[in-house]
Chains A and B, each alone.
Chain A
Amino acid sequence: KAGVTQTPRYLIKTRGQQVTLSCSPISGHRSVSWYQQTPGQGLQFLFEYFSETQRNKGNFPGRFSGRQFSNSRSEMNVSTLELGDSALYLCASSSWPRQGHEQYFGPGTRLTVT
């Protein structure tokens, strides 16, 4: 079974631009979550989706948004990029709400804002 895939793997953007990151979950998983990882703040929850519905959102400004498609693939968008948005963005998929809820992460997208 293929794992979680994220594209692109690396991105360099300029302040003020916007960016879209993509995540394809493990086949059969309908729950997708996004996390931001920075050296200073560690791993912080962005949002989670199930069946195209956002179920929960972390404490991030409205510049951060996401969506999930009917095939469970998810995208997140960051508009008006700031230097502080430079981070590793990780996507996780899970069999939630089925038993177990073990979460599997993708390799991440490294975003650098200059």
Chain B
Amino acid sequence: KQEVTQIPAALSVPEGENLVLNCSFTDSAIYNLQWFRQDPGKGLTSLLLIQSSQREQTSGRLNASLDKSSGRSTLYIAASQPGDSATYLCAVTRGGATNKLIFGTGTLLAVQP
């Protein structure tokens, strides 16, 4: 059974710092991995999608990497801003006949001005 874990559960950094969020999954047979952010009481915003055949994806100040063999993904945020404060979630899909997302526990990020 696939389990997804995110460390740390919470993180507080000063504005301008570069930071890394971690995501681990127990079954390496994934189809893709997606990173989301969620603001309090809101829906999920897709940040980056990495296919299982890819090693990384970049969008602006965000860079996500994937190491399927070790069951790990990282989300790197450069030059953090207070507007980056949110909960960050990673999720994997198995592929095949299902598009079901299995979510991690999330990292609550606070960027202090």
Q: A: which residues have CB within 8 A of B?
A: 4, 6, 31, 33, 35, 42-43, 45, 48, 55-56, 58, 88, 90, 92, 94, 96, 100-108, 110
Residues A102 and B100 in contact in the complex (CB < 8 Å), given A42-B105, A108-B43: no
Contacts of B20 in A (CB 8 A): none
Given contacts A42-B105, A43-B89, contact A102 B46 (CB under 8 A): yes
B45 interface contact, C-beta 8 A: yes
Given A42-B105, A42-B106, A43-B89 in contact, is the A101-B99 Cβ separation under 8 Å?
Answer: yes
Q: Which chain B residues have a beta carbon within 8 Å of chain A's beta carbons?
A: 31-32, 34, 36, 41-46, 49, 51, 89, 91, 93, 97-103, 105-106
Interface centre among A6, A45, A103, A110 (most CB of B within 10 A): A103
A-B contact number at CB 8 A:
61
